Amino acid sequence: MVQDVRTLQVQLEDRSYPIYIGRQLISGRWFREAGVPAGRKLLLVTDEHVGPHYLNLWTEALEEAGYRVFTHTVPAGEASKSLQTFEDIITFALECGLDRNSVIVALGGGVIGDLAGYVAAAYMRGIPYVQIPTTLLAHDSSVGGKVAINHPQAKNMIGAFHQPLMVIYDVDTLKTLPQREISNGMAEMVKHGLIGDVELVDLLEQSMEDLLQLSPDGFEDALEKAIAVKVAVVSQDERENGLRAILNYGHTLGHAIEALSHKQGEPIIHGEAVSIGMIGAAQLGVRYGCDSSIVERTRVLLQRAGLPTILPRRIDADSILRIMAHDKKFKDNQAVFILPKGIGEVYIQTGVPIQWVRETIDQLYGEV
């Protein structure tokens, strides 16, 4: 039974869509409300981790609502964001006879959302798709329509802006996540607070430990606020021409840290790397005039979220700077950073000297 559902609305003219947040949301009702008539073909794409938990439940609910459901399961992990898997799903969609009225359903975390979303963007020049995120991290990636697969030489190089028909965020699906994955997603929730919602930061500070347990009291409140920040930004800058850059708070250093750690075979996962990156951004922000209390307040919050705030020495500064240079983060030895003005407000700072970036990285190793 569906109960106590919160709805957020992404406003993008004819590409507007709702985000449902709640528990026990597995139901065909949302599809009917979105105007998908019974009889339509739906292709559920999931991975080998998520499928065993939720694929049958969703399939049954959707078939009960009168849809013709097909399913395709890919291996879990980033390697599935390949052109080969992309082509395989399109082949399967053709074999199932999906047409321009059919709907792709992305059931899983960020990899599945990106992959299935890009299939939907490309199939017959674009068909509708639905995001059903099953990780906390995907509260971020499932909203905003950025979909992509990887090129062997670069992540997310082949993609589109393709807004979903809706996002169905069933908090119950988070219960099967390991704690590290909850913390992983919590990093982006903290980010959303820091860039746009003081009240969310307050809420996180009041009850982080409860939130990590998905406590019914406050969890949906916090999640709704975090998604609302993303929604507000995306609604103003769908195609990342300006404002949307602030969503990269903590990501400029974070991406480099994440990439390096993967190369070393000892992954610092996305939220963890962004956590360290947000400490760096806070420190840099202080150089530009932000009150220095922001560093400590950010650090305490992230630590309570179970996230690292110190950079391991194996991730050396030279390598970070090299990756940033390779990713064209520097121009004339200066970089662009998203920096805090205070809690809940950030801005885009151009012309950050490479030397300051290096000094910031050095600070991230912590006290010797």
Kindly determine how many residues on this chain lie close enough to bind its own copies according to the rule CB under 8 A.
26
Half-sphere exposure of 226 (CA within 13 A, CB side): 28
The answer to whether residue 230 is catalytic is yes
Inter-residue contact 211 to 218 (CB < 8 Å): yes
Kindly tell me which of 134 and 163 has the beta carbon lying closer to its own copies: 163
At 169, give phi and psi (nearest 5°). -105, 95
Looking at 181, 240, 345, 359, which residue is catalytic? 240
Kindly tell me which of 142 and 275 has the beta carbon lying closer to its own copies: 142
Looking at 162, 188, 224, 304, which residue is catalytic? 188
Kindly tell me which of 154 and 198 has the beta carbon lying closer to its own copies: 154
For 111, the token pair is: 């990899």
The answer to whether residue 188 is catalytic is yes
Inter-residue contact 81 to 115 (CB < 8 Å): yes
> Cα(116)–Cα(92) distance, rounded to whole angstroms?
12
Smallest distance from its own copies to CB 105, Å:
19
The answer to whether residue 326 is catalytic is no
Smallest distance from its own copies to CB 151, Å:
6
Inter-residue contact 97 to 145 (CB < 8 Å): no
Among 146, 191, 270, 299, binds its own copies (CB under 8 A): 146
Kindly tell me which of 156 and 303 has the beta carbon lying closer to its own copies: 156
Candidate ranges 65-73, 153-161, 287-295, 333-341; the one touching its own copies (CB under 8 A):
153-161
Q: What is the three-class DSSP state of 332?
A: coil
Q: Which of residues 65-84 bind its own copies (CB under 8 A)?
A: 83
Smallest distance from its own copies to CB 100, Å:
9
At residue 148's C-alpha, the angle toward residues 188 and 192, to 5°, is 15
What are 296-302's contacts with CB under 8 Å, separation 24+? 297/205, 297/343, 298/190, 298/194, 301/190, 301/201, 301/204, 301/205, 301/208, 302/187, 302/190, 302/275, 302/278
Smallest distance from its own copies to CB 12, Å:
13
At 359, give phi and psi (nearest 5°). -65, -35
Candidate ranges 38-46, 117-125, 245-253, 290-298; the one touching its own copies (CB under 8 A):
117-125
> Cα(201)–Cα(62) distance, rounded to whole angstroms?
37
Query: Can you tell me which residue has the tokens 């610092």?
Result: 268
Provide the angle, in degrees to the nearest 10, between the axes of the packed helices 270-287 and 293-304.
170
Q: Which of residues 294-353 bind its own copies (CB under 8 A)?
A: 328
Residue 123 in the binding site for its own copies (CB under 8 A): yes
Residue 159 in the binding site for its own copies (CB under 8 A): yes
Smallest distance from its own copies to CB 91, Å:
7
Residue 38 in the binding site for its own copies (CB under 8 A): no
The per-residue DSSP string of 125-162 comes to T---EEEEE-SSTHHHHTSS-EEEEEETTEEEEEEEE-
Q: Which of residues 234-273 bind its own copies (CB under 8 A)?
A: 239
Kindly tell me which of 161 and 356 has the beta carbon lying closer to its own copies: 161
Looking at 23, 72, 192, 230, which residue is catalytic? 230
For 42, the token pair is: 């739906």
What mask, x for binding its own copies by CB under 8 A, covers residues 81 to 110? --x---x--xx--x----x-----------
Residue 39 in the binding site for its own copies (CB under 8 A): no
Looking at 15, 29, 41, 244, which residue is catalytic? 244
Looking at 251, 299, 304, 329, which residue is catalytic? 251
> Cα(69)–Cα(63) distance, rounded to whole angstroms?
6
Residue 121 in the binding site for its own copies (CB under 8 A): yes
Residues that bind its own copies (CB under 8 A): 83, 87, 90-91, 94, 99, 121-126, 146, 148, 151-154, 156-161, 239, 328
